[in-house]
Structure 1
Amino acid sequence: MKLIVLLISILIANVAIAQKHVPLPHGMVFGEKPDTITLMQASKLETFMGKKTRITTAITGKVIKVIKEKGGWFELDAGKNRVIGAHFTNAGINLPKQLAGRTVIISGIAAKQFIADDLQHMAGDTVSGKKQHKVNTNSGRKISFEVKGLMIDQ
């Protein structure tokens, strides 16, 4: 009897440990399934946007790291030392840390980030007669992406 209990305990422990290291399967979807009709490489997104400040599209790229699992905050490689900061519009999405290094397809809204002159946007007003400037390119993050759906590609 003790032998049976011992074997069952070992079996349960092995199953519990093995579940933590299960790789994420190809085609796994978080949120809505991305529409791949307008799919493009993440490195071509900024060029494709041109002078537009916001577009709805689907892109593919490699996840650099998952910043916050809860809420689905992560960074996507945009090539040439550029990063696209992405997060889910649905805060109920939880992304696993194992997503880092995987190629994904995401769909949603890409937006260029802007700052107001003299940080007056913090006060709720801007200097009249002056235009907004783009975020400094040295920060490495010029485009943010509001993700509606993510699918693991590779």
Structure 2
Amino acid sequence: MKHIIVLVLVVSSLLACKQESKTADVAATEDSQMEQEIAYKSFGKEIDANNAMNTKKMTEAYQNMTVGDSMDAKVMAKVDEVCQAKGCWMKLDLENGEQAMVKFKDYGFFMPKDIAGKEVIINGKAYVNEVPVDEQRHYAEDGGASKEEIALITAPKKTFSFEADGVLLKSI
């Protein structure tokens, strides 16, 4: 009888330890998911990082568009440049040296001015635009270009543009 009681106690202890281990694994998984959620700082409309296309796919989509075309998109890309006056626009690095000019819906939010080189996820409308000379000069001035560089802007330019309603800035 003693052996049966001891055996039951040993088996119960082992099962209790095994269950505690599973609880610890679940807690570790939840912590890992929380870290992923905390990895981004949100600007504008709240969005999530799921289903963002890479810059290669976005560049291909832009290449197939003409002036006036638009599409809903969520893109993950690296910031090349930010408006140094207010943070009211940014340029994202696409494939093959191309860039996308990002403005923010209804001028509703701004980005930090020191995020060049950081990764963002943007959500909104991608479109192809023709930017007039005066607007190009304005952006060049906001970006800190010299008077000589600004004077070289003399013709409208076809650009890849994006109106973002939400942005996630990778904070790690």
Check whether TM > 0.5: yes
Matches within 5 A, 1:1-154: 26-49=39-62, 50-51=64-65, 53-68=69-84, 70=86, 72-114=88-130, 142-153=159-170, 154=172
Does the 8 Å CA contact 1:110/1:146 hold for their aligned counterparts? yes
Q: Distance in 1 between matches of 2:86 and 2:102?
A: 13
Q: Distance in 1 between matches of 2:85 and 2:124?
A: 19
Does the 8 Å CA contact 2:104/2:110 hold for their aligned counterparts? no
| Structure (1/2) with the larger strand percentage | 1
Residue by residue over 1:31-76, the C-alpha shift from the partner in whole angstroms, topping out at 9 and shown as x without a partner, is 0123545420123213235347100010000000102553620000
Q: CA, structure 1 residues 147+105, in 2 after alignment: closer, same or farther (shift >3 Å)?
A: same
Q: Which residue of 1 aligns with 2:141?
A: none
SS of 2:114 mapped into structure 1: helix
Q: Any gaps of 5 or more consecutive residues in structure 2?
A: 1-37, 132-156
CA RMSD in angstroms comes to 2.8
| Structure (1/2) with the larger helix percentage | 2
Q: Distance in 2 between matches of 1:151 and 1:26?
A: 9
Q: CA deviation at 1:86?
A: 0.4
Q: Distance in 1 between matches of 2:85 and 2:42?
A: 15
Kindly tell me the number of residue pairs found equivalent between the two proteins: 108
SS of 1:93 mapped into structure 2: coil
Q: TM-score, normalised by structure 1?
A: 0.59
